[in-house]
Every structure is written in structure tokens, then in C-alpha cells.
Amino acid sequence: MNKFHLYLFIPIFITGCTNGNNTGSITPAQPSVVPDKPDSIQVWTPNDKPSEHDLIDGATEECKYVFLQSDTPKSIIGCINQIFVDDSTFTITDKSVTEKIVRFNKFGDYIQSIGSKGKARGEYIGLGCTAKTGDGNLAVIDIMSNKFIIYSPDGKPVDEFRMNKQMPHEMIMTDSLVLGSFPGYHKSSKYRLKWFNLEGKDVHTAFPFTSTRKYVAGHLLKDSDGDIHYNFSLNDTIFRIDNLRIIPEIVMNIHDQELTDRFIKDTETLDEKKYYARLYQDENIVNLVDLIKCDNKWVVYYQKGSNSYVSVISDNGKSRVNYQRARALQKGQKRELLMPEYFIDYAGGYLIGYIDPEGFDYLDNSRKSKYLKRIRQNSVNTPANDEDILNYGNLILCLYKLK
């Protein structure tokens, strides 16, 4: 697989590696919390037509670029899975490549690492998800040793608990409880959502959807208003989690749910390899969705067959503009990258993501020249010339203010 295929399909590869195969019928566990049935549900306007503009020209009014310090091994990261932003720092979790948590200032200068790999107290063997607590501490999951570690804002270990059960795939802190999203369905993890305390004891459980095939956990999202949202693979609904209520809130109109339901039924008996081959080759099936809630907009990354998109959708769902991120030129031919950014979160009025320097290799000359000019003009710490930008040894943060 060449670099571009890796770049385009890394999210799929991660999903495939964490999924499993469990054919046949199941008996859902009895949850303590069940989804509510609302009287009404918001429906986004369907729109599959890509814009003729790129996202920066069509949807943003300001952009900033921050080059993360690259001259020390401690600062180097391979990707950004989570980012926490305050007035003066970026705290970045890379659990996929370097398994590090690194803090930088707003100019990209390395400040410190938080935690490290090891078996001692305050160390982790396998870095999992992270979450900010209400008092500014950082909670970290060690997926290999079943530890739940808490670090202070200055990066020192404060406490840790050992959990005897499966660790969450994603988590959000809610007062003194943790809301975790767990992979299911299998005997050791009967629920997809759990509320547990800091000793790892289950307080409430929920099973908002069922399937005959084991899926990775659904995605949790906490927006700037403190509202918690939840969505899961091959389903067109966004749920809102309000205390212990799970409320269907939005129909995205990104999936064709009738086609998707038929696909699920037709592939129930396939083994894992054949199932994923069908999933990622079917041009009618959306196989990956990532959501970011901005102040008055949603930003949605989704991959449909061989193509991927970033959609900017108004808060009421009536306005939707799609920007194509990558596309297949022809069946069996190479794929074209149009946007080298991958967005992670929204904070301080900015949509935040990163540009992998290798992504520039797959832009055509016109787009590459346009990005280089934009980065030089809008970076807080721009390298001297285009060659230095293209060969920069660490990730480049991008911060976009939406119109």
C-alpha cells in the first residue's frame, strides 16, 4: 500500500483493526438506561453534491498554522488523536504512532511530556483515550494494564485505579463519573455505554443499539456548551446524552439508511475479511463518520466508498455544503487528495486539525503552491522557505475560524 492509500485509509484501517467478527444471533444485555423516543427529531437537508470551492475559500474567514517543535525527540508525534486547548497551550495525545501525550505552547514550542511508557505507578503500557476533568486534571486509560491514571495540570501523576473489566474506547468526564463507550457485543462487554466512578465500578449501563456483528464503540462528543452527543457506525442518527437519558436528536441524511440496513442484512454471515472488503468497496455505503460540533455549525468528515468529504452544516441542518477531501479518479486508478488537513476538535472559536507533511506530496502543483503561500502568510512560526515547510519534521497544526 503506497503512502497516499495509507493517508486516505488510515481511519478505515484503525476501525478494521479494532472491529471483530461475531456472526449469528445475540441476546442483548438488559440495560439500566434505554433510549427515549422523542416526539420530533431534527433532520439535516440531504446534499451529496461537492462544492466547486475548497473548504478554506468557501467556509473560513481566518486561518492560522502552528509548526510543532521538531528539534527534540520528545516533541515528535506521528498523529493527533485528541487535542485539549486552553489559553496558552495545546495538549496532544498520539495513541496510534508514538503513544505520547505532549504539551506545546501556542507558538508550537515543546513544554513537557505527560506520563511515559512503563509499568511503574503513573506510567502506561498501552496509551488509550484521554479526557479532561472538571478541575483541569487529565484522565488517561492504559488499555494494556487496565489502569485509569489521573495527571495534574503540570503533568504529575495524582492517582491511579486498576479496573478489572474491559477499558473504554472513548470517554468523557461527567462530574464525578466517567461516561465510557465500549466495544460490543461480546461476553466480557455486554454494554456499549457505561457510567463508572473513579474506582472503575459500574454505576449505570446502556445498550442503545444491537447488531449481530461486533462493532467498535460508538463515538462520544462533548461540545462547548457541555452537551454530550453519541453516534455509531452504519447508523444515521446522532443521539444526545442528558444525564441518564439517551435521546435520538438528529438524522444526518448522510447514510441512505435503507441501503445500509440491506447491506447489514446481506453481510451478516460473511467472515471478517469479506465483510470489510464489501464495506469499503461499496460506493453507496458510508463506512466512516467523524463529528465536530462548532458554536453554530457541525463539521462532519465522512467516507463513502472511495471518496471522502468534509461537510459544513448549519446548526438547524438546513444549510449543508460538502467539500471533497479525496476522490478516486477512475476505478482501479490512483486517488487524488484535495485537502491535506484532518480535523480533530473545535476550541476557542477555531476548528482545529493538523496537516501531515507527507500529505503535500499528493496535492497537485496548483494546490500545493496555494497551500504553501497560505501557510507562509498565516503561520505564527513559519520556516524560512517552501522547502523547509515541505520537509518539516513534525506535524503542522491548522486553526480555521468558520464564516
C-alpha 194/C-alpha 354 separation (Å) is: 31
pLDDT in tens, 345-394: 999 999 999 997 777 888 999 999 999 999 999 999 977 788 888 889 99
pLDDT in tens, 86-113: 888 999 999 999 999 999 999 999 999 9
Return the exposure string of 94-109: e unless at least 16 CB atoms fall within 10 Å of the residue's CB, then b.
Answer: bbeeebbbbbbebebe
Beta strands in 224-306 (DSSP E): 228-231, 237-242, 245-251, 286-293, 297-304
Of 199 and 341, the one with more pLDDT = 341
pLDDT in tens, 58-71: 999 999 999 999 99
Beta strands in 124-169 (DSSP E): 127-132, 138-142, 147-151, 157-162
Global pTM? 0.88
Residue 12 in this model has a pLDDT that exceeds 70: no
Residue 264: left (phi > 0), alpha (psi -120 to 50), or beta? Answer: alpha
Q: Which three cell numbers mark 339?
A: 485537502
Give me the residues paired with residue 156 across strands: none
Q: Which three cell numbers mark 320?
A: 449543508
Give me the residues paired with residue 103 across strands: 91, 112
Q: What is the mean pLDDT of residues 25-46?
A: 75
Query: C-alpha 92: how far from its chain's center?
Result: 13
Give me the residues paired with residue 343 across strands: 353
The order of strands in the sheet holding 320-328 is 286-293, 297-304, 307-314, 320-328, 335-337
pLDDT in tens, 217-258: 789 999 988 999 999 889 999 999 988 888 999 999 999 999
Contact residues for 186 (Cβ-Cβ < 8 A; gap 6+): 20, 22, 214
Contact 277, 12 (CB under 8 A): no
pLDDT on residue 179: 92
pLDDT on residue 153: 87
Burial label for 256, CB within 10 Å (0-12, 13-18, 19+), is middle
pLDDT on residue 99: 95
Please tell me whether the peptide bond between 280 and the residue prior to it is cis, using omega within 30 degrees of 0: no
C-alpha 303/C-alpha 383 separation (Å) is: 33
What 3-state class would DSSP assign to 337? Answer: strand
pLDDT on residue 188: 53
pLDDT on residue 90: 96
pLDDT in tens, 71-92: 999 999 999 999 999 888 999 9
Following DSSP, what letter does each residue of 285-321 receive, concatenated?
-EEEEEEEE-SSEEEEEEEETTEEEEEEEETTSS-EE
C-alpha 203/C-alpha 184 separation (Å) is: 18
pLDDT on residue 190: 64
Closest CA to 340 of 374, 314, 312: 374
C-alpha 278/C-alpha 270 separation (Å) is: 9
Residue 7 in this model has a pLDDT that exceeds 60: no
pLDDT on residue 333: 62
Contact 41, 373 (CB under 8 A): no
Q: Which three cell numbers mark 283?
A: 460506493
C-alpha 360/C-alpha 231 separation (Å) is: 31
